[in-house]
Structure 1
Amino acid sequence: MHLSPVVVGPPIYLPVFLKAVRAGFPSPADDHLDAPIDLSRTLIRNAPATFIMHAAGSSAVDVGIFDGSLITVDRSLVPRDGDAVVVDVNGERSIKVYRIVGGRPSLAFGNRRYPDYDPGPDADIEIFEIRRPDSSIST
């Protein structure tokens, strides 16, 4: 994963369609627009604690993070069960799913095709960043 700093500049407002996009026949009313949104305010809630990372690999596809995705990471958030998190395990960063199992925190791959994740009892693990659930942008 590569780190990129977040630079917050003036707002850039983009149009938002009122209707969700369908995979079938389009409705004639689908071209109506809602109020525009500023992506920096939508994706960045705490700029000093936020940065962008490039994801690599397929271990998080079940949580919507794909090879080449850009993810917005906010270190100020507290993980909840089921959140995708960026972790450091023995000095190596990766994306995992934060789980509470039997009242204890654990980590899992975000791809059901991968085996169970077990870093071992002596692993040095730091859960230091949280990926916002609404912030995966494929490139």
Structure 2
Amino acid sequence: MNTIYKSDNGTGLRCPLYLSTVEAGFPSPAEDYVEGSLDLNEYLIKHPAATFFVRVSGDSMVNAGIYPGDILIVDRSLEPVDKKIVIAVLNGELTVKRLRYRAGVPSLEPENDNYTPIKISEEMSFEIWGVVTNVIHKV
């Protein structure tokens, strides 16, 4: 991760949001009902002043659906609790991992079996930078 962007909710771009859902199984007849408009800033960003976008590099979180090149939406105002995916600063480097607490001891766990968990010790410089709320990637 080497790119951090501040959120900008000033764009106000709204797109149509259809009332009907899209079937992932068998197709259903299309409906022409528009529920309203959807502003992705309002939908994805709950705390604009504390929200940033971070581009991912590396593959340690692929089993969580986070791939190289994805953009993470990170909210710095949320409390980092057990099992949340977080952006951490570990010895001066940013990393994205799942935060785990076992017997009160934090660890950063990858979502890829090719990597090992990082048990946080007092000798390490460690800080939770923010909590990942959403991931954006192309299909």
Aligned to 1:136: 135
- Aligned counterparts, 1:102-117, within 5 A: 102-117=103-118
Give me the TM-score of the superposition, normalised by structure 1: 0.84
Aligned 8 A contact 2:107 2:117 in 1 = no
Distance 1:74 1:13, change over 3 A: same
- 1:46 and 2:65 matched: no
Rounded to whole Å, the distance in 2 between the matches of 1:78 and 1:107 is 16
Deviation at 1:112, TM superposition (A): 3.4
Distance 1:8 1:21, change over 3 A: same
Rounded to whole Å, the distance in 1 between the matches of 2:32 and 2:63 is 31
Aligned 8 A contact 1:97 1:108 in 2 = yes
Aligned counterpart in structure 1 of residue 22 of structure 2, from 5, 20, 29: 20
Aligned 8 A contact 2:55 2:70 in 1 = yes
Mean Cα displacement is larger for which, 94-103 or 114-123? Answer: 114-123
For residue 66 of structure 2, what is the amino acid of its counterpart? Answer: I
Deviation at 1:16, TM superposition (A): 2.8
Rounded to whole Å, the distance in 1 between the matches of 2:71 and 2:38 is 19
Rounded to whole Å, the distance in 1 between the matches of 2:65 and 2:137 is 9
- Aligned counterparts, 1:93-104, within 5 A: 93-104=94-105
Deviation at 1:60, TM superposition (A): 1.1
For residue 5 of structure 1, what is the amino acid of its counterpart? Answer: K
For residue 138 of structure 1, what is the amino acid of its counterpart? Answer: H
Deviation at 1:10, TM superposition (A): 4.2
Aligned 8 A contact 1:61 1:110 in 2 = yes
Deviation at 1:29, TM superposition (A): 3.5
What RMSD, in angstroms, separates the aligned Cα atoms of the two structures?
2.1
Distance 1:30 1:95, change over 3 A: farther
Aligned 8 A contact 2:108 2:118 in 1 = yes
For residue 136 of structure 1, what is the amino acid of its counterpart? Answer: V
Mean Cα displacement is larger for which, 73-82 or 118-127? Answer: 118-127
For residue 104 of structure 1, what is the amino acid of its counterpart? Answer: V
Deviation at 1:126, TM superposition (A): 0.6
Name the SS of the counterpart of 1:27 in structure 2: coil
Rounded to whole Å, the distance in 1 between the matches of 2:74 and 2:107 is 20
Mean Cα displacement is larger for which, 49-58 or 96-105? Answer: 96-105
